[in-house]
A and B are shown apart, each in its own frame.
Chain A
Amino acid sequence: MVRLEKRANPSRLWSVATPVLAVVLTMIAGGILFAMLGKDPVAAIRTIFWDPLFNPQFAAYSRPQLLVKAGPLILIAIGLALGFRAGVWNIGAEGQYVVGALVGAATGLALYPMDSRLIFPLMVVAGGLGGLLWAMIPALLRTMFRTNEILVSLLLVYVAQSLLASMALGALRNPQGGGFPGSRNLSQWASSANPELVAGTGMHWGVVAAFISVIGAYVLLQRHMLGFSIRLAGQAPRAARFAGVSPTRLVIVCFGISGALAGLAGLFEVTGPAGQISLDFAQGYGFTAIIVAFLGRLNPVGILLAGLLMALTYIGGELAQFMLGLPAAAIQAFQGMLLFFLLAVDILTNYRIRWTKREAA
C-alpha cells in the first residue's frame, strides 16, 4: 500500500530535483512520441537539446537565438509567477503582450519619421502602460464585481488577437507597403529600433529588461513587504487577511506588474526580433511563459533557468523541423507534456510517500 503523508514544509531537495526529474521524464515521453511519428528518438532529442548549443554547424546561428527567445519568456513569466504565488491567476499574458506591442508601436509610428533618441524610451513606457491597462480590465472587474479573473483575462486574449488583426490591416498598416498587411518596420527605423547590443549574443534591450526583472523580483520577494504579502497570501490566505494584507490591492498589483512586464516583452519584440506589427505577431509566448513560471517553481532564479531551457526547445524544435522534418506542433505538444510531468512529480515536494502494509481494519 502506498500512503501519502503531507510534509510540514515543502522539501528543499525535491523542490530543486523535481524540475530536473520532469525534464528527464519529458525527454523519455517525448522520445516515445517522436518514435511514434517515425523519427529516431535519440537523434530528435539530441537535435533539440544539444545541437543548438554545441553543433559546430548550427551553434553560431542558434546560440544568440537562445537569449532572443528566452528574453520575452522570462520577462512575462516573472510577472505571472508573482501573481501565481499570491493565488492571482493572470493567464491572459498573451493578450497583454499583444496590446503592449500595439500601443508601443502606435506611439512610435505617430512620431514617424522624426529623428530623436527619446522615441524608443517613450515607446517602452507606452508598451508597458498598454500591457498594464489591458491587465487592469480583469483586475478591476475582479475587485469591483468579483468576476472570475481567469476567464476574463483569457477571453481578452481573443479580443487582443482580433485587435491585432484590425491594426495590422487598418490603422497601423504601412502606407508605403503596397497594401500588404503589417506596419512599417520598426527595427529598421533608427529612432525605434531595438538592436542587438553586443554582436553575436542576441542580447537586446528586452533581454536586459528580463535580467533586471529577475533581480527585481528576487529582491521584492526576499526583502520587501509586498513580496512578503504575496507569499503570505498564497500560503495562508486567512492569516494574510488578519495580517492586514488587502486582497484587492494584491490583485491589482499582481495584475499590474504582470501586465506591464508582458507589455514590455511585446514592445521589445515588435521593435527588435519581429520588427513590425503583423498578422502573425502573437506567437504564444504568453502561454509558454505559464509553463516557464511553473518549471522555474515560481522562483525568479528558477524562472531564469527555465526560460533558457524553454527557449532551447523552441530553437531545437525549429532545427528538428528543418533537419528531421519533425512537425512544429510536436514541439508544442512536447512543451505541454513538460508541464504535465512537472505537476505530476511535484507531489514529491509536498508529500512524503510511505510504503505501508495493508492493515487489518
Chain B
Amino acid sequence: MDIGGINIITLLATLIVASVPILMAALGELVVEKSGVLNLGVEGMMIIGAVIGFVVAVQTGNPVIGFLGGAVAGAALAAVFALLTQVLLANQVASGLALTLFGLGLSSLIGQGWNGIRPPLTRDVPLGPLSDIPVLGPVLFSHDWMVYASFALVVAVWWVLRRTRAGLILRAVGESHDAAHALGYKVRRIRMAAILFGGAMAGMGGAYISLIRVPQWTDGITSGAGWIALAIVVFASWKPWRVLLGAWLFGGISVLQLSLQAAGSRIPVEYLSMSPYVITILVLVFISSGRGRAMGAPADLGKTFHASR
C-alpha cells in the first residue's frame, strides 16, 4: 500500500509512536486544567523530562528508570510552578512562561556533552501472533510498552475523572474553588497534586522523545510539542478520549510531513516543517468558532485562589 512513495502501514505505525509524547503531556495538562489551573510550562517540563530521562537511562543502562527519572524531573519543575501559583499566588500565565524559559535553558545546560550518544534500546512488547495480523499487527501490536501504557492512561484518566469520587472533587475544585472550599475540600492541596501529576506526565512524554522517538539528545528537542499538547487540550474540549484523537491527528501530520520530506516532495522543506503548527492553529480556530464559549473549559480555569478566612 504505497501512495506517492509513502507506505501507509509504516506511516500509521509511526503515527502511533509520534503521538505518544503529546498524548502523555496533554493528558497531564488536562487533569491540571480540570482542577482549575492553567500551566503554560508544559514545553519546559517536557524538555527537562527529555534531558533527565536521557541522562538517567544512559547512566543506568535501563530505559524504564530513565522514564521514571523524566517523570520525577517534570514533577520537580512542576513543584516550582505549584509553589509560585498556589502558595505565593503568582500569576499563572507568567509563571508558566517562566517555567518554559527556565526549562529550555536548564535542559541545554544539563544536556551538554550528551549529544550524539545512543540511549539504551527499548524493545517492542512481544505480542506473539497478534503482531502477525496483516495491517493491524504492525500498526497496533508491535510497539514498546510506553505506547500501551499511554493508552491505559487515557482510560485511567477518563475513569478517575468521570467515575470516581476523587475525580468529582477535582472537577468541583476546577469549576468553583470558592464552593469547593466552603464544602471543606483542600483546594490548594488538590491543585498541587494535579500540578505534580501534570508535570510527571509531561516529563515522561519528553523522555519518550529523547529515548524512543528520536532517539538521542539535542538542544530544543521538543520543538514546540508542549505547546501543541496545550492546544490539544482545548481541541479535545477537556475530554480524555478526544485528547487521544487530537494526539493522533497531530502525530499524523508531523509524521506525514516528515515522510513527504523524505520522499522528496516538491513542497519546500521549510513549508512542510511549519505545517503542524499552521494546522494546529487552523484546528484551534475551527474548534473555538463552534457553538458557544470554549466548551467544557472549567469555570475557574486560571484564576488565583486565596481563602480570605
Q: Which chain A residues have a beta carbon within 8 Å of chain B's beta carbons?
A: 4-6, 37, 89, 91, 141, 144-148, 150-152, 154-156, 158-159, 162-163, 165-166, 169-170, 287, 290-291, 294, 327, 329-337, 339-340, 343-344, 346-347, 350-351
Contact = CB atoms under 8 A, between A and B. Distances in A.
Interface string B268-303: 101101100110110011001100011000000000
Chain B interface helix/strand/loop/mixed:
helix
A334 B281 contact: no
Chain A interface helix/strand/loop/mixed:
helix
B91 interface: yes
Contact of B224 (A158, A335, A336, A343): A158
B218 interface: no
B90 interface: yes
A343 B98 contact: yes
Contacts of B106: 329, 333, 336
Nearest to A291: B101
Contact of B284 (A89, A148, A340): A148
A343 B95 CA distance: 7
Contact of A290 (B101, B102, B107, B224): B101
A73 to B, nearest CB: 14
A147 B285 contact: yes
B231 A146 contact: no
Interface string B87-101: 011110111011001
| Ranked 6 nearest A-B pairs via Cβ | A336-B102, A332-B105, A333-B105, A166-B270, A162-B274, A145-B289
Given A146-B288, A147-B288, A148-B284, A332 B104 contact: yes
Nearest to A2: B87
Interface of B: 40, 80, 83-84, 88-91, 93-95, 97-98, 101-109, 112, 219, 223-224, 227-228, 230-231, 234, 268, 270-271, 273-274, 277-278, 280-281, 284-285, 288-289, 293-294, 306, 308
Nearest to A138: B281
B90 A91 contact: no
Given A6-B308, A329-B109, A162 B284 contact: no
A156 B281 CA distance: 8
Nearest to A340: B98
Contacts of B270: 162-163, 165-166, 169
Given A6-B306, A335-B105, A337-B102, A150 B271 contact: no
A155 B227 contact: yes
A329 B88 contact: no
B105 A147 contact: no
Contacts of A335: 101, 105
B37 to A, nearest CB: 15
Contacts of A351: 89
Contact of A336 (B84, B103, B289, B293): B103
A151 B234 contact: yes
B180 to A, nearest CB: 19
B88 A151 contact: no
B94 A343 contact: yes
B88 A344 contact: yes
A151 B306 CA distance: 27
A151 B284 contact: yes
